[in-house]
Structure 1
């Protein structure tokens, strides 16, 4: 029986042409009695039938054939499909897409890498996948776009498709990168009020200069667009409301080595603020709204001030529950007088309430431990500031590395939201045995058990044993940060210390100290806390003929070698830092007074203040100031200060570049550091961002300037006696040695007799 074949235009073109152009082809329909596929190499007939929207018994006509061919092409498995008829049998003649046996990109040194390989794999351009020419074209275009974005306009990209046996292909893209096309000049025309140099400072794109490793001279259309937006904002912030970029010309030299950018601007006239008003649903009273805005009548118009004022109004509305409030500053312009009336149009939306607060990522921390840090409560009106403060409190927990927050509208409602805090925990506990080094104490051998989140409760336990060149110590501690439900903390500590001296090079006596402390932390506000507690110490001193200083011997003669003290510990602190360690903004003020109360064998007090300030600077630089002043003195009939309570200075934590504890008064007759009653120091650091770590949470490079000294009595203070140093420092949380700190300092005003150490290093967890 002779086979009857449909012409290709009858069915194959029914989709390939008619479906695309709207042109239909008619042919004689028939009922399908059997289906057969020809041309299959790797695929089975079952795979074809899976994608075919036809079955035996169905009628094949113009519409169903168009639908069937579209479905087979849409599977991505075939590059050609034809329908033929043999009696009641539908014959599907296909040409399978070839399989990729190998795919590589060669020559892309500047753009690409693992990310490109992963992207290609996700696209389907990888070994074992089916080849599609359109995907290869997409890869070429994306590579070219990335090279242009990085300044390589001379790049050449060539694709090769090599056919192999058994309907397979190997693919290769060869890239010839060429040289970087650099910006030779950026020229601004039409400006008369501000000179070119002032305006070009607003641009991220720069002409090629002498600086090594310059990347700002690589042209990018996106960067230029951003620069033009910044230029417009800069003008409008100075009253030039009608400033306009008339045209931009970007010229590429024939050899594709240089680009010239010309920007034509129209500055316009200065506009002033006539008045301001509020429209829409204002919610808040006008006097309060006026206090939130910084656009005053008669001031030069500033777009930034207008948008900042709108942001403050939105924040104020969000704090009383209007989570999705929008405030739009609309300038109403009087062209004749060149004045602007600013209309703040307020759309508060519905007041939102928090349905639920959820925590994600807290594997080892109880839900209630995190929930007690919340300043935003469930079922309460949404408050943006309360949510942000809650996030900061989570981030400041010692067992949390970071915390992020997300506000999610509840589906089906317009007045409910869920708050989701996503936290990342850091290891809360450790059992360590290690070594360390400190200039003040020499080499350390320590054993320590610490857990900052015991059983997920947030309670802290500490147990440590330390042995170093001058001392041996045992410390035990327990802290419950929520001893009461309203956030009063309780710390209990026991300690024993056997020491040969206060620092490595001081005054020839031994001390054994046994003590205990009970301290409470009482929060007065979100940032202010009060410290109050009691302590007890039992002290025994031992002196040695011929090696103990005269000052220590005099103290022993007057007070004996054994005495007990009962201490009252008080203090107040203000802490607004964004992190407790390696902070980048905020401040810490801490004032403490510890008093050996009347009835103690020795009566003295120790008062100290510490202030830390963090100032963010452009380009991720941070300025840090760490100031400290301490004063210790006796009172009453037993007014001697124990020598181990004296202040010392010099070293990484006071004045770098000078030997630990070496500054200040010396004993007699050995001229070893003896310490004094008054210490004042200031460390200033310029923190330099490192490319190896974006957030600066485990490494820090900085330049520093230190100044300070110790004085025997407050009346001995002289500014000219303050020692100074400057240098470079580096801090790093190492996996095995704990915090490692290194500095190289240059003493700036050392005097005869000063002991200097330019390079200083400390590491280990014991200090």
Structure 2
């Protein structure tokens, strides 16, 4: 090494050593010293003692470089300070801090479509609220997140103006003003690469759609399907993938997506590039894993067949069916994974349903939530899943259905959860929404059948939470006055035998609203028992007694009105009759709800006979079948809320013993809301010599309704909109039946289960088949009366 370089290096080394020695001796520099005192400067709202509590050192400790960095980091971590510095005066440590400003006020305005009160609550949890400390980074993050959410929902013209105003006492006011602008609409959706399906077929899968022509927008403005949303686009791409996967294109892929924006930020152009691939068929399927049930039983649950086109939806449905089947045997959390082995050479797919049943589960406890008015015991007697028993999916679901069918329940949901720390125990929770079960009312109502009503009643379908039904009623309407009482105990015995005791008195000026030509006084009572046969069906048996007295009607001039038919009946049978009735019947009810059902059926068969000892001996029998179908299960793409219901009834009455004819007050009448809408109640069928409806001994009707989904939140639970088609008539005798005499009508109907007036029913028959000038009543409504 040259001598000059050596000397220079030596000089530098000496200078460095001298500098270090001088710094160590200086009382105002360096961190390596013993702290004799600590002083805090810069605080405004905080007390110096508060700051000292965050320091990881105290008087007497030795301060090193590492200890100083640790102290600074600890103060920053509190979030209370914008700046922290440590200084030294002799052996006194100076802690110089700058406090963060306090938020005196925080407001965000103009964000109508993003956030709202939920956003404000979330911001408050993050520290953006009055009284919190101001952090500029949080405000910046908020502005970026708001902009991202607006862009994702198509608001590309959004303007976000953030103002942070400094106030006295180290405070700030934060005001965020959002100008949302108009949401960008989709101008065009272009699909590239599709060969097997047309653009229109694929666009039908999407929820998003291009803007409609200007002249059609007044008819479609409420749909808003042309408003871009990233979430909706991702959902549509998933629907597109399902569309292809369910048609055998298992290699389908969306290769790219382009979202283009017009210069004015108002129009969006979507371009979706797809690779369809080839169509594949199922070569065969097999089972693997732990098959705890015979393979033949599993095969009955599989809906796909070798040789058919592969469908991801059908394969997943088969896996879910197997899982549900295992759940009926107690394996509540069975996992069935449909594995696919793709053969690209012959375009086939081999399926393997891999079964992992897990451990058999048992129900630890069943709980009910929301039953504020119903006793726990009343609910538990509806259970078909029991505590301590093996879990059964079918039993849990059947229990839910039985609860939902109770007239005082509006909605029932069920959740099954594993017990923490256990592999074979589950809890079953039922979340209940109760209806108003009891009413004490004096009010008015109207029905097309009875006219204006004035009534007073005490009724309760869940008396004192027991499920017993009590009804005391007094009523007067346009042509009748009546009082009645009934008491029903649905669990008269522990085995589920029900008992109903009823009594009534009724005085009528006419049988139906549009007239019948005579008055009637009736008094009677009955005791009826319901005997369960199976889970869904029961027998009905009871005894009743009734006394009826016919009086001739009088017109406005005080003249007696007596039709030829009524005069003949009185001559042959007299005006008064006491009858003893044997009531029998059979019913099967699989509906998911009593009110506004969406699936299942209800079948009723009745045979009532006026027995020996009666002044008149005759019988009446009827058969009624009501069924609900989910239209979405037939036509893919339609809403699950779209339901088709059909309700058909056939009834017959005739003399079997004493008496010459069935009394006119026990004839059948047709027309009105419960048979053929569009016709006056009771206005169809035979008439007497005074042109009053006289009824007949044979009735047949069919009501068909298509439930139309609406925007109402309570859709299909307390409201229902339907399109209906009714057909039917009543005949003097079954031998008089002629199909050409059936009356038909079509229209729309709306139902609302109101909280105060009971069921509101409104219908309008746009089409009425009226060849013989029957009593037509296109618009019909009623409230304050039941189903």
Length-normalised TM-score, structure 1: 0.91
SS in 1 for 2:669: coil
Q: Deviations over 1:128-154 (max 9, x none)?
A: 333222332333233223322332222
Counterpart contact for 2:517–2:692, Cα < 8 Å: no
Q: Deviations over 1:239-268 (max 9, x none)?
A: 222222222222222332222222222222
SS in 2 for 1:633: strand
Q: Distance in 2 between matches of 1:503 and 1:336?
A: 76
2:692 to 672, 676, 683: 672
Q: Distance in 2 between matches of 1:273 and 1:650?
A: 55
SS in 2 for 1:240: coil
Q: Distance in 2 between matches of 1:439 and 1:563?
A: 30
Q: Distance in 2 between matches of 1:32 and 1:464?
A: 92
Alignment of 1:618-767 (within 5 A): 618-619=638-639, 620-668=641-689, 670-751=690-771, 753-765=773-785
Is 2:319 the partner of 1:310? yes
Is 2:507 the partner of 1:498? yes
Could you tell me how far 1:348 is from its partner in structure 2? Answer: 0.9
Q: Distance in 2 between matches of 1:384 and 1:361?
A: 22
Q: Distance in 2 between matches of 1:607 and 1:65?
A: 98
SS in 1 for 2:299: helix
Counterpart contact for 2:385–2:396, Cα < 8 Å: yes
2:155 to 131, 139, 152: 152
Could you tell me how far 1:47 is from its partner in structure 2? Answer: 4.9
Q: Distance in 1 between matches of 2:754 and 2:765?
A: 22
Q: Distance in 1 between matches of 2:50 and 2:536?
A: 67
Quick one: structure 1 residues 427 and 749, their matched pair in 2 at CA, closer, same or farther if it must change by over 3 Å? closer
Counterpart contact for 1:709–1:722, Cα < 8 Å: yes
Q: Distance in 2 between matches of 1:57 and 1:498?
A: 104
1:381 to 390, 394, 413: 390
Higher mean C-alpha deviation, range 568-577 or range 170-179:
170-179
Quick one: structure 1 residues 61 and 467, their matched pair in 2 at CA, closer, same or farther if it must change by over 3 Å? farther
SS in 2 for 1:292: coil
Q: Distance in 1 between matches of 2:382 and 2:412?
A: 12
Could you tell me how far 1:747 is from its partner in structure 2? Answer: 4.4
Quick one: structure 1 residues 186 and 59, their matched pair in 2 at CA, closer, same or farther if it must change by over 3 Å? same
Higher mean C-alpha deviation, range 530-539 or range 739-748:
739-748
Q: Distance in 2 between matches of 1:37 and 1:512?
A: 100
Q: Distance in 1 between matches of 2:436 and 2:161?
A: 51
SS in 2 for 1:207: coil
Alignment of 1:60-459 (within 5 A): 61-62=64-65, 65-85=68-88, 91-210=94-213, 211=217, 212-213=220-221, 214-459=223-468
Quick one: structure 1 residues 514 and 176, their matched pair in 2 at CA, closer, same or farther if it must change by over 3 Å? same
**Which residue number corresponds to residue 610 of structure 1?**
624
Q: Distance in 2 between matches of 1:497 and 1:51?
A: 87
**Which residue number corresponds to residue 495 of structure 2?**
486
Q: Distance in 1 between matches of 2:499 and 2:266?
A: 69
Is 2:534 the partner of 1:514? no
**Which residue number corresponds to residue 600 of structure 2?**
586
Is 2:573 the partner of 1:559? yes
Quick one: structure 1 residues 686 and 485, their matched pair in 2 at CA, closer, same or farther if it must change by over 3 Å? same
Could you tell me how far 1:607 is from its partner in structure 2? Answer: 1.6
Could you tell me how far 1:110 is from its partner in structure 2? Answer: 4.0
Unaligned runs of 5+ in 1: 1-24
Counterpart contact for 2:31–2:68, Cα < 8 Å: no
Could you tell me how far 1:228 is from its partner in structure 2? Answer: 2.2
Could you tell me how far 1:175 is from its partner in structure 2? Answer: 2.4
Which is greater in Rg? 2
Higher mean C-alpha deviation, range 299-308 or range 78-87:
78-87
Could you tell me how far 1:317 is from its partner in structure 2? Answer: 0.9
SS in 2 for 1:148: helix
SS in 2 for 1:455: helix
**Which residue number corresponds to residue 8 of structure 1?**
none
Q: Distance in 1 between matches of 2:388 and 2:709?
A: 42
Q: Distance in 1 between matches of 2:183 and 2:711?
A: 23
Unaligned runs of 5+ in 2: 1-28, 554-558, 632-637
Could you tell me how far 1:485 is from its partner in structure 2? Answer: 1.6
Quick one: structure 1 residues 405 and 30, their matched pair in 2 at CA, closer, same or farther if it must change by over 3 Å? farther
Counterpart contact for 1:621–1:686, Cα < 8 Å: yes
Q: Distance in 2 between matches of 1:523 and 1:240?
A: 51
Counterpart contact for 1:655–1:683, Cα < 8 Å: yes
Quick one: structure 1 residues 56 and 628, their matched pair in 2 at CA, closer, same or farther if it must change by over 3 Å? farther
Quick one: structure 1 residues 63 and 695, their matched pair in 2 at CA, closer, same or farther if it must change by over 3 Å? farther
Could you tell me how far 1:469 is from its partner in structure 2? Answer: 1.9
SS in 1 for 2:300: helix
Higher mean C-alpha deviation, range 440-449 or range 681-690:
681-690
Counterpart contact for 1:633–1:639, Cα < 8 Å: no
SS in 2 for 1:405: strand
Counterpart contact for 2:165–2:172, Cα < 8 Å: yes
Could you tell me how far 1:196 is from its partner in structure 2? Answer: 1.9
Is 2:31 the partner of 1:27? yes
SS in 2 for 1:389: helix
Could you tell me how far 1:765 is from its partner in structure 2? Answer: 4.1
Counterpart contact for 2:753–2:759, Cα < 8 Å: yes
Counterpart contact for 2:283–2:306, Cα < 8 Å: yes
Q: Deviations over 1:541-568 (max 9, x none)?
A: 2225621322222222222222211111
Could you tell me how far 1:327 is from its partner in structure 2? Answer: 0.8
Higher mean C-alpha deviation, range 130-139 or range 453-462:
130-139
SS in 1 for 2:232: helix
Q: Deviations over 1:550-605 (max 9, x none)?
A: 22222222222222111111222222222111122222222222211232111122
Q: Distance in 2 between matches of 1:565 and 1:556?
A: 16
Alignment of 1:459-474 (within 5 A): 459-474=468-483
Higher mean C-alpha deviation, range 704-713 or range 342-351:
704-713
Counterpart contact for 2:573–2:660, Cα < 8 Å: no
Q: Distance in 1 between matches of 2:345 and 2:714?
A: 51
Q: CA RMSD in A?
A: 2.5
Q: Deviations over 1:703-745 (max 9, x none)?
A: 3222222222222222232222222322222333222222222
Counterpart contact for 1:79–1:96, Cα < 8 Å: yes
Counterpart contact for 1:238–1:302, Cα < 8 Å: yes
Q: Deviations over 1:107-146 (max 9, x none)?
A: 4344444443444444433333332223323332332233
Q: Distance in 2 between matches of 1:49 and 1:547?
A: 106
Is 2:614 the partner of 1:600? yes
Counterpart contact for 1:100–1:171, Cα < 8 Å: yes
**Which residue number corresponds to residue 9 of structure 1?**
none
Q: Distance in 2 between matches of 1:26 and 1:234?
A: 73
Could you tell me how far 1:49 is from its partner in structure 2? Answer: 5.5
Q: Deviations over 1:252-298 (max 9, x none)?
A: 22332222222222222222222211111111111111121123222
Quick one: structure 1 residues 241 and 26, their matched pair in 2 at CA, closer, same or farther if it must change by over 3 Å? farther
Quick one: structure 1 residues 497 and 52, their matched pair in 2 at CA, closer, same or farther if it must change by over 3 Å? farther
Counterpart contact for 2:543–2:580, Cα < 8 Å: yes
